[in-house]
Amino acid sequence: MVVFRIGRTKYSHDLTGEGARLHGGRWNHVLVPCIYTSESRALALLELTVNVNIDDIPRALSISTIEIPEDIIKELSVAELPGDWDYSPSPTSTKDMGSDLLKTAEAAVLKIPSAILPLEFNYILNPLHPDSAKFKLIFVEDFVYDVRIKTK
C-alpha cells in the first residue's frame, strides 16, 4: 500500500523518523522516532494544517510517497485507544501509548484513525522495527502550501 507525508523538505527522504524524534507528536514523545503518514495526500495536508500555525509553515515542503507492505500493519480501533485520543492539544495518554508501542517494536506500522476525520486513517511507521527495511520511498515532490487553506 502507498502512504503520504507532507513535511519539511530536509526530512523528505528520511525514513529514520528524525523529525518526529526531535519534535514529538500525537503518538510519540520527543526522542522516540516515528514517521507520520496518511492514507491520502489530502489527509496529509489536513493533518499538517491543523498541527501548524500559519506563521510556522515551512517554505520548503515536500510530499513523500512511501510504499509499505500491508502484512506489517497493526490496526488500532477507537475502542483500543485512550478515551481522550482525539483531544486537542494532543494528550499525554496518546504520546504514552504510541511511544510504548514504538519502543517495544510491537508493529512496524500502526494504523490509527485520524483525530480530525476518524473514518480516515493515519499510518505511524516505526523505524525501530526490523521490518522497517521494507519501507520504500518511491517518490518525493516539492509542495507549495496554498495559504488560502489557512488564514491568520
Architecture label for domain 2-149? Alpha-Beta Complex (3.90)
Amino acid identity, residue 144?
Answer: V
Q: State whether residue 148 is helix, strand or coil.
A: helix
Of 134, 124, 110, 115, which Cα lies nearest the Cα of 35? 124
The pLDDT assigned to 152 comes to 59
- pTM listed for this prediction: 0.94
Q: What confidence tens digit (pLDDT) does each residue in 30-70 have?
A: 999 999 999 999 999 999 999 887 777 878 999 999 999 99
> Which single residue is written with the C-alpha cell 496518546?
94
- Spell out the domain ranges in the chain: 2-149
The pLDDT assigned to 115 comes to 95
